[in-house]
Amino acid sequence: MNDKQKKPQKLKARLPRGFVDRTAGDIRAVNEMTAKIREVYEHYGFDPLETPQFEYTDALGKFLPDSDRPNEGVFSLQDDDEQWMSLRYDLTAPLARHVAENFNEIQLPYRTYRAGYVFRNEKPGPGRFRQFMQFDADTVGAPGVQADAEMCMMMADTLEALGIKRGDYVIRVNNRKVLDGVLEAIGLGGDDKAGQRLNVLRAIDKLDKFGPEGVALLLGPGRKDESGDFTKGAGLDRAQIDKVLFFVGIKDYAESASRLAELVAGTSKGAEGVEELNFIGALVASAGYGSDRIKIDPSVVRGLEYYTGPVYEAELSFDVTNEKGEKVVFGSVGGGGRYDGLVSRFMGQPVPATGFSIGVSRLMTALKNLGKLGASDVIEPVLVTVMDGDVEAMGRYQKMTQQLRAAGIRAEMFQGNWKKFGNQLKYADRRGCPVAIIQGGDERATGVVQIKDLIEGKRLSGEIEDNASWREARVAQETVPEADLVTKVREILAAQAEDRTRAGNAQ
């Protein structure tokens, strides 16, 4: 029998599926982008709100996937009082809970924006994560579609503030009420047809994926996919299918408006929806937003199952190259609409609301494709090197570092093993530091420092092994009085900035 103690197993470092670590570059890019979005929202008079990442599961309500299990689709746990709590699935349901809970203190209309992570307990895949960031804006307590029109204008202004030029985006607008009118006109009105209407909504939501032919099958007898799996259809006849496909196939609203009005004639919901679309079109046109920026487009079908009135989607129209090397249109980066029933779940009384959500990660990808994000590179810190480890010397190095920081210059004192000076320069090279500050005993005795422009005089740091080698290499290096440290570093950083600007203009 072997009594030798087994060596403990090392813990394996592994990232949970569907989650990602964010690096400094990603974080700075998001911060840069969200700051511009926030500025537009504030300009429109919206105020920030932050809700917790956990909500009671029942507050998320019908917006969870259909399931009896409280943790299906969401990440859930039971509190010590046996109540289920879940990580938020979106930012809208928490807003509805907040408004209902604080209804007497909130000034209506309540205009707010929120940014934060949401969580989906779903199977991860390429580009499909279990945690991602959304940036929402909502108006609660405004029943008129002028609030929806303003949301569309704010979406357009936000995209332009991010550097997306006109012609590269469009805000497309539809209305759930018009579709309700179409369904009523083809005989699917009434409570007894609710299930069939839901099947129609789910079918037309597959328009981008399956095209009109595939949706026609889902509206009719059903569709069999490549694997042989069969999806039962909504059971409409050919005439009904044609009318639904006409509605979602409209590309030019001005040309089709009269025919659409005829289709929904005699249905109160449909007529109201057409009137609201026309009203939004007139409002945005009066404010100077042409159809090249905000377009009435009944082919918008995303979210029709969720929304109760106007629906809008921000779509980018420029081409990008996908992972297969194919040129494809970038597509949607956000959307929203009117959801008058959400707050009412808590209140027992009608509370109108409208809002939209931006997919931060997707929009960030678009901006990187356009070269609109991360162009202003963060300057790495000036490195104050360490030549001696005694208290007096360390105190001087720390003082220099603090002087640079106090002057608004990003700086750090080397914190690793200072005895191998070449390692400090290797560190500076790998880090991309623009300037190194050097002061040994001789310089300290005469009250001077050596300042090396690492961008101008960059070379393999491995060539410099010790202090003697350093003193022989005077490339892009100056000796200045300690009192001139900040001034000289500023001069070097300014010269480097000019070089970057010239290089950028030359491209």
Q: What is the per-residue pLDDT across 327-383, written as a single tens digit (0 to 9) for each?
A: 777 888 999 999 988 888 888 888 999 999 999 988 988 888 787 776 556 789 999
pLDDT at 141: 94
* Angle in degrees, 0-180, between the axes of helices 238-248 and 176-185, rounded to the nearest 10: 160
Residue 322 banded pLDDT, cuts 50, 70, 90: low
**Angle ∠(33,34,36) on CA atoms, nearest 5:** 70
Q: Which residues, at least 6 apart from 425, have a Cβ–Cβ distance to it below 8 Å?
A: 385, 436, 461, 464
Strands 47-48 and 110-119, bridge-based pairing: parallel
Residues contacting 162, CB < 8 A, separation 6+: 33, 36, 37, 363, 367, 372
Higher pLDDT residue, 322 or 37?
Answer: 37
> Tell me, what's the pLDDT at 63?
47
Q: Are 461 and 422 in contact (CB under 8 A)?
A: yes
The predicted model gives 427-453 an average pLDDT of 93
- Give the model confidence (pLDDT) of 83-116 as tens digits: 889 999 999 999 999 999 999 999 999 999 999 9
Task: Give how far Cα 399 sits from Cα of 48, 379, 404, 410, 499, Å.
Answer: 39, 21, 9, 14, 30
* Whether residue 5 has pLDDT greater than 80: no
Instruction: Please give the structure tokens belonging to residue 368.
Output: 């990187």
Which positions ≥6 away from 256 have C-beta within 8 Å?
A: 250, 298
Nearest CA among 90, 75, 173 for reference residue 136? 90
pLDDT attached to residue 71:
60
Asked if 449 contacts 443 with a C-beta cutoff of 8 angstroms, the reply is yes
The answer, yes or no, to whether residue 135 has pLDDT greater than 80, is yes
The secondary structure of residue 191, as a DSSP letter, is: G
What distance in Å separates the CA atoms of residue 24 and residue 53, rounded to the nearest whole number?
Answer: 23
pLDDT above 80: residue 231 = yes
Residue 70 has pLDDT above 70, yes or no: no
State the pLDDT at residue 460.
Answer: 37
Q: What is the mean pLDDT of residues 374-403?
A: 88
Q: According to DSSP H, which parts of 266-314 are helical?
A: 268-286
Assess whether pLDDT exceeds 60 at residue 243.
yes
Backbone angles phi, psi at 420, to 5 degrees: -100, 95
Give the model's confidence band at 474: pLDDT under 50 very low, under 70 low, under 90 confident, else very high.
very low
Strand partners, 316: 169, 331
Question: Quick one: pLDDT at residue 374?
Answer: 63
- What value does the mean pLDDT of the chain take? 87
Average of pLDDT values for 244-253?
85
Give the pLDDT confidence score for residue 202 in this predicted structure. 85
Question: What local confidence, expressed as pLDDT, does residue 248 receive?
Answer: 84
In this prediction, what percent of the chain has a pLDDT beyond 90?
50
Q: Is the pLDDT of residue 164 over 90?
A: yes
**What mean pLDDT is predicted for residues 302-322?**
84
Q: What is the DSSP letter of 180?
A: H
Instruction: Quote the radius of gyration of the chain (alpha carbons, Å).
Output: 30
- Over range 141-155, report the average pLDDT: 96
Alpha helix stretches (DSSP H) within 349-483: 360-369, 391-406, 421-431, 441-446, 467-472
pLDDT at 37: 96
**What are the phi and psi torsion angles at 475 (to 5°)?**
-70, 130
What is the Cβ-side half-sphere exposure of residue 421, based on CA atoms within 13 angstroms? 20
Token representation of residue 505: 């203009």
Query: Residue 398: its pLDDT value, please?
Result: 96
Report how far residue 454's alpha carbon sits from residue 388's, in angstroms, rounded to the nearest whole number: 21
CB 46 within 8 A of CB 111: yes
Where residue 469 falls among pLDDT bands split at 50, 70, 90?
A: low
Q: Are 72 and 413 within 8 A, CB to CB? A: no
For residue 471, the model assigns a pLDDT of 52
Tell me how far apart the 2 most distant CA atoms of the chain are, in Å: 95
Q: How far is CA 224 from the centre of its chain?
A: 35
Mapping DSSP to helix (H, G, I), strand (E, B) and coil, where does residue 263 land? Answer: helix
Q: What is the pLDDT of residue 2?
A: 58
459, pLDDT greater than 50: no
Q: Is 64 helix (H, G, I), strand (E, B) or coil?
A: coil
pLDDT score of 324: 65
Beta bridge partners of residue 118, listed in sequence order: 132
User: Cα–Cα distance between 127 and 116 in angstroms, integer?
Assistant: 18
For 207-226, write each residue's pLDDT tens digit.
Answer: 878 889 999 999 999 898 88
Per-residue pLDDT tens over the stretch 24-67: 888 988 999 999 999 999 999 999 999 999 999 888 865 445 44
- Which residue did the predictor score with more confidence, 454 or 251? 454
Q: State residue 66's pLDDT score.
A: 43
